[in-house]
């Protein structure tokens, strides 16, 4: 992994650049690396988590399109110091419900 030093153009990059290079921001520093490629097929547990994440993303898109739900998740995000309503809705879907009594 290489470090970007004194480069105005790439010092704020983050994410994928083309098909080969990934830029990462760690603190105030920018690093670049070659994109990792897994040679192993995903395990059943990985497939399950990926499917769950896809369902969560679909749920979030539905909730944030709903004019009643979007402000609610914005409030939840502010109260819980989250970045935005998207993160709050994602956490809501991914968290298991807590049952106090039956």
Query: What pLDDT digit, counting tens, does each position of 42-71 carry?
Result: 999 999 999 999 999 999 999 999 998 999
pLDDT tens, position by position, 31-41: 888 888 888 99
- Residues 6 or more apart in contact with residue 23 via CB below 8 angstroms: 4, 10, 13, 14, 15, 16, 17, 30, 31, 32
Place of tokens 């994109």: 35
Domain parsing of the chain, residue ranges: 2-34, 44-94
Q: Which two tokens stand for residue 71?
A: 């402000």
Length of the chain: 102
The Cα 18–Cα 79 span in angstroms is: 38
Q: Whole-model pTM above 0.85?
A: no
Q: Which two tokens stand for residue 95?
A: 């968290």
């Amino acid at each position: 992994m290489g470090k970007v030093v004194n480069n105005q153009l790439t010092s704020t990059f983050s994410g994928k650049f083309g098909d080969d290079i990934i830029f990462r921001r760690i603190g105030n520093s920018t690093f670049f690396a070659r994109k990792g490629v897994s040679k192993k097929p995903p395990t059943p547990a990985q497939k399950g988590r990926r499917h769950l994440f896809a369902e969560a993303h679909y749920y979030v898109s539905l909730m944030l399109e709903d004019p009643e739900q979007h402000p609610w998740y914005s409030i939840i995000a502010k109260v819980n110091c989250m970045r935005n309503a998207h993160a709050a809705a994602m956490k809501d879907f991914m968290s298991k419900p807590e049952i106090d009594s039956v």
